[in-house]
Structure 1
Amino acid sequence: MKNKVIQVHPADNVLVALQDLRSGETIEWKDKTYLLLEDIPAKHKFTTAEIAAGGAVTMYGVLVALAKEDLPVGVRIATENVTHASGAYSLRERRTAWHTPEDAARWKERTFMGYHREDGSVGTANYWLVIPLVFCENRNVEVIREALQEELGYARPKKYHRFAQKLSDMYKSGKGAEQILEEDFEETAVSAGTTPLFKNIDGIKFLTHDGGCGGIRQDAQTLCALLAGYITHANVAGATILSLGCQNAQVAMLQEEIRKRSPQFSKPLYILEQQKIGTETNLVASAIRQTFAGLVKANELERKPAPISKLCIGLECGGSDGFSGISANPAIGYTSDLLVAAGGSVILSEFPELCGVEQELSDRCSTEEQARKFMQLMKTYNEKAEAAGSGFYMNPSPGNIKDGLITDAIKSAGAAKKGGTSPVTDVLDYPEKVTKPGLNLLCTPGNDVESTTAEVGSGATVVLFTTGLGTPTGNPIAPVVKLSTNTALYNRMPDIIDINTGTIIEGEETIEEAGERILEYVIQVASGEIKVSAVRNGQDDFIPWKRGVSL
């Protein structure tokens, strides 16, 4: 490691510890020295100037906190001595001029092997969906899953069954709880089951949920819009829909939302209504028969070359730490800029985690209308949170705080780095669809799964997900690439992490070099050459947002 600390922005009055620092240690940074008055754990920040009570703490060049008390030079900022604060924002002259990355030109001719759809979109995968319109149909969906998954070769390996059987045998032989607790799990090679029957279909995904009825009517409309986003998605070949019949989320509502997103929709779509069909046997048998016929048709499609301008990448973070905003997030921000320069699309979401950088993002909006929409969405969201007794300031989780993200503004300023530096070409309210190339802002919660679910529903065909603490989040239809912010995490959780950007912290790689490495990896994932950890692990997280307060 070349440096012990780093200053993220020249205007900052804090430095970030890149390793554990001890009280009494003298730190040198750019011809200045700082005496530490207490231990500074890696990922945390210490003051480089005296800050009076009520004074501003600045990081990433923006206001991120106010001091609760007088802070001398060399002390760690923590929840005990600072409180969340963020700068005001307003509509002003926009700056959409953009310095294209120097290496952008060579990416414009790059291609990936994808599934070409009739509407002109290109998928990175080819899935069939089975979806209930209401939670009442979840059980029938599970019955269909049991019937199809293993028979068609899509069942997951029974990795832990042998272990459970071993413990069962121990109990039968008279062993007690203490002996069972001492038994180690030994991972052995487990067959993945039969070869999939359909070579060009990546799997059948079952999107069960707890919505479709009850709540308010707007919940049903929003759910149908999200489901329509998945049905019309480039990674989806077709879908089977189960409806009870009397629920708020009516079939006509779903069909309307599909037409909004794809006026010439032509994928196989089978809709079955239980109250019209009658018996469960007839419903399930019909669903299996029609789904199988749809799979036969979907299997005819094969991967073909497509320009990377056809990619749409979702940008996500979860289990963030104090390194997120200086390694993984800016790295995928550079990846984002390269893809935008090549004509592709990216999605930056998690609006509670854009608190404090509203001015920068609104200034980057291509039109005044977009800037106004973004600011209004941010204000409305925060007001609803405050009305419920929890503003954006409540966003950092205990894990975030423990690892150096003391306030929401610190977390947000680092999270926004995922969006790179390109202009904002569109601002979308959940669950609107991406229709323009470039950087799109999508209103979603900061919750990992709700936000990832939304990004894919809006069109993301690959998701880049940064994490400093480790999180297994995935998605049913889009590969979620996990990037660790630090090498220790990469080594500790190799079963869920795909890419390590701790190399940036250690001085082995620049942000630009990491960003290019990530884009190369994305192209391989998009071409089906690499199966990411979330896909291998069957991490099919799907949680629709009901537009309530979720941070």
Structure 2
Amino acid sequence: MTGLKRKVLKVHPQDNVVVALTDLKKGETVQDNGQVYTLAEDVPAKHKFTETALNPGDPITMYGVLVGRAKEALPAGVKITVGNVKHAASDFQLAKARKTAWHIPDVSKWKDRTFDGYQRADGSVGTGNYWLVIPMVFCENRNVEVLRETLMEELGYGRPKKYAGFARQLAQQYREGADAAAILETIYTEDTGDNTRRRLFENVDGIKFLTHEGGCGGIRQDAQTLCGLLAGYITHANVAGATVLSLGCQNAQITMLEEEIRKRSPQFSKPLYILDQQQTGTEQALITTAVKQTMAGLIEANKLTRQPAPLSKLCIGLECGGSDGFSGISANPAIGYTSDLLVALGGSVILSEFPELCGVEQEMSDRCVDEKDALQFIDLMRAYQRRAEEAGSGFDMNPSPGNIKDGLITDAIKSAGAAKKGGTSPIAAVLDYPQQVSKPGLNLLCTPGNDVESTTAEVGAGATIVLFTTGLGTPTGNPVTPVIKLSSNTKLYQRMPDIIDINTGTIIDGEESISEAGERILNYVIDVASGITKAKSVINGQDDFIPWKRGVSL
């Protein structure tokens, strides 16, 4: 689809605010779908303006749902801001009937498509083949770092030292008498030389080290939750096996981890080496044993090769971060269409970030196939909001300064756009963190809105690819799962090409429809899943891993 770029967009017929798709000037008159709007003040692109005059307390509606209320009298054509609008969202309750009808997209062109993945004994198929080194407790982080220093360079997994040559250049200038002013004027020249060794294990994509700050010192439930998350990574389709380091006396005991592994994989058969430092003794004994066992595991992992698998074996996590006023009308609905395509093909999808479903709870609960799941979703949302309020916060505090600056002024506006990532398909299951996906279709997973915590959780739940939309730009990645970045606007794609994989600003620019973008995204996913294309997060070595402790994190 091509055509003239629209200047404004009324997202839903029931809305009383309109999105500026380009910078609008005071006094300017714009038309869209037969409606004429006159701007009472300047309205930057991504922001919203009032369609008609509003009185104090009047509802603000966008995406067809309540997203705020006017704090004061607002004339038609003025920009809505945190100063003149306050957060508001509709109440919700368990409906008597399920609303699971949806328009199933045509997937005939993908019916016989496959991707080349790593097939595991439990029937899952990975998009990568990684070895993990995991501490049971933060006390072991140093030993994990020793293993990283020992293994990475020698086995060919070291990253090119991209800026080392530049640092050497500056050091040499200083030795030759350059002062601070001269150093600051030096222009960076990229060092194109690759100073890394060739990989010893060609079929192993990497060794990943999941250091964290948990395992002890908190409540026992924190330890159990952490073990559940770590078990999710160990049993993950993208993981070949793991080396685990335990101190021995921490809350997160080895038996707890083994129990969580059995919950997720009763017939677990991957190589798993667990060492207890207090039993092993010296650092030398611990490290040399860990190195030998890891090498033995890597030899087994290297025997695996990519094999064709149906698209139904894909599990995609849906994430957003650094969102802007275009996210909910370009990138999010685009991956929502991709989600619908994959669900129609029998695959699995994960939608998380519960603070960013505030205001659309009724729709999401109504879409649950099972009434028990609908009730669990409602209970989880209410409990989460209650905990946030008890801590002196609330979902209304979720939008970040960057969100607000770029047009997302209430949590309900942000949430209504964020929910578009989940498409329109029925909700197959509602999961509480750190549960794992066990059903095909759209799964809701309770996580915070924090980008890294939520992405970490989605992968722990089984996501083998993550689609991550952004309007402002964020480098978030994951140790074992490719995180594909999609920009909501073309300017971001052009400004940060080193971290953005796909541009959906084409929708805003009038060059492509949401469905066309969604299909393009699915084709890209298949290439990444097959190892044909590398996500920028993988190229950049963006291995973010932050477990959620279930405290109040928005």
TM (norm. structure 1) is: 0.99
Query: Match of 2:100?
Result: 96
CA distance in 1, matches of 2:503, 2:135: 38
Q: Report deviation, 1:172.
A: 1.6
Deviation, structure 1 residue 324: 0.1
| Structure 1 match to 2:12 | 9
1:28 aligned residue: 31
Within a 5 Å distance, the mapping from 1:407-446 to structure 2 comes to 407-446=410-449
Q: In structure 1, what is the Cα distance between the partners aligned to 2:431 and 2:225?
A: 14
Contact 2:434 2:461 survives alignment (8 Å) = yes
* Aligned-partner Cα distance in 1 for 2:35–2:487: 31
Which amino acid is 1:349 matched to? S
Alignment of 1:468-507 (within 5 A): 468-507=471-510
CA distance in 2, matches of 1:205, 1:192: 20
The question of 1:219 aligning with 2:211 is answered: no
Residue 541 of structure 1 corresponds to: 544
| 2:294 partner amino acid | T
Q: Which residue among 174, 179, 183 is the counterpart of 2:177?
A: 174
Q: What CA distance in whole angstroms lies between the structure 2 residues aligned with 1:261 and 1:98?
A: 31
Q: 1:301 aligns with which of 300, 304, 309?
A: 304
Q: 1:268 aligns with which of 268, 271, 275?
A: 271
Match of 1:383, SS state, is helix
SS of equivalent to 1:238? strand
Q: Which of 56, 59, 71 is the equivalent residue of 2:74? A: 71
In the alignment, what sits opposite 1:255?
A: 258
Matching residue of 2:244: 241
Give the SS at the match of 2:364: helix
8 Å CA contact retained: 2:430, 2:443? yes
Matching residue's letter, 1:277: T
Which residue is equivalent to 1:18? 21
Aligned to 1:112: 115
- In 1, Cα distance between equivalents of 2:157 and 2:288: 19
Residue number among 392, 396, 409 corresponding to 1:389 in the alignment: 392
Superposition CA RMSD, Å: 0.7
Among candidates 58, 61, 65, match of residue 58 of structure 1 = 61
Output the amino acid matched with 1:196: R
What residue identity is the alignment partner of 1:142?
A: E
CA contact (8 A) 2:166 2:191 kept: no
Q: Return the alpha-carbon distance in structure 1 between the equivalents of residues 435 and 390 of structure 2.
A: 25
Give runs of ≥4 in structure 1 deviating > 6 Å: none
Q: Could you tell me whether the CA contact under 8 Å between 2:115 and 2:529 is conserved in 1?
A: yes
Q: Which residue of 2 aligns with 1:328?
A: 331
1:340 aligns with 2:360: no
CA contact (8 A) 1:476 1:542 kept: yes
CA contact (8 A) 1:64 1:356 kept: yes
1:48 to 2:51 alignment? yes
Asked whether the equivalents of residues 108 and 343 of structure 1 are also in contact (C-alpha less than 8 Å), the reply is: no
8 Å Cα contact 1:43/1:403 also seen in 2: yes
Equivalent pair of 1:108/1:341 in contact (CA under 8 Å)? no
Partner of 2:144: 141
Confirm whether residue 311 of structure 1 aligns to residue 311 of structure 2: no
User: Residues 229 and 457 of structure 2 are in contact (CA less than 8 Å); yes or no, is this contact kept in structure 1?
Assistant: yes
Look up the equivalent residue of 2:527 and give its one-letter code. Answer: Q
- Distance, in Å, in 1 between the alignment partners of 2:23 and 2:187 is 34
123, 128, 136: which one pairs with 1:125? 128
Give the whole-Å Cα distance in 1 for the aligned partners of 2:251 and 2:5: 60
> How far apart are the structure 1 equivalents of 2:246 and 2:133?
11
CA shift, 1:306, in A, is 0.2
**Distance (Å, rounded) in 2 between the aligned partners of 1:8 and 1:33:** 15
Instruction: Give structure 1 stretches of 5+ with no counterpart.
Output: none
Residue 280 of structure 1 is matched in structure 2 by 283
Instruction: Return the offset for 1:457.
Output: 0.1
Give per-residue Cα distances to partners, 1:75-133, cap 9 Å, x unaligned: 000001000000111111211122201x2233232110000000000000000000000
8 Å CA contact 1:40–1:76 kept in 2: the answer is: yes
Q: Secondary structure at the match of 2:445?
A: strand
The one-letter amino acid paired with 1:409 is: A
1:371 aligns with one of 370, 374, 381: 374
Within 5 Å, which residues of 2 pair with 1:194-205?
194-205=197-208
Distance in 2 separating the partners of 1:371 and 1:395: 24
Contact 2:66 2:88 (C-alpha < 8 Å) held by counterparts: yes
1:405 and 2:405 are equivalent in the alignment: no
Q: What is the CA–CA distance in structure 1 between the aligned matches of 2:441 and 2:517, rounded to whole Å?
A: 21
8 Å contact kept, 2:165–2:191: no
Q: Which amino acid aligns with 1:476?
A: P
> What is the rounded CA distance, in whole Å, between the counterparts of 2:129 and 2:326 in structure 1?
35
Distance in 1 between the 2:338 and 2:195 partners? 34
Q: Which letter does structure 2 place at the counterpart of 1:98?
A: W
Give the paired residue count.
Answer: 550
Partner-residue secondary structure (3-state), 2:467: strand
Q: 1:116, 1:304 within 8 Å by CA — same for their partners in 2?
A: yes
Q: Residues 330-360 of structure 1: CA distance to partner in whole angstroms, max 9, x if unpaired?
A: 0000000000000000000000000000000
Report the counterpart of residue 512 of structure 1 in structure 2: 515
State the SS of the aligned residue for 2:19: strand
Aligned to 1:128, the other structure's residue is in SS state: strand
Distance in 2 separating the partners of 1:515 and 1:190 = 37
Letter in 2 for 1:454: A
SS of the residue aligned with 1:33?
Answer: strand
Give how far 1:192 is off: 5.5
Amino acid at match of 1:197: L
**Distance (whole Å) between structure 1 residues aligned to residue 524 and residue 295 of structure 2:** 33
Residue 210 of structure 1 aligns with an amino acid whose one-letter code is E
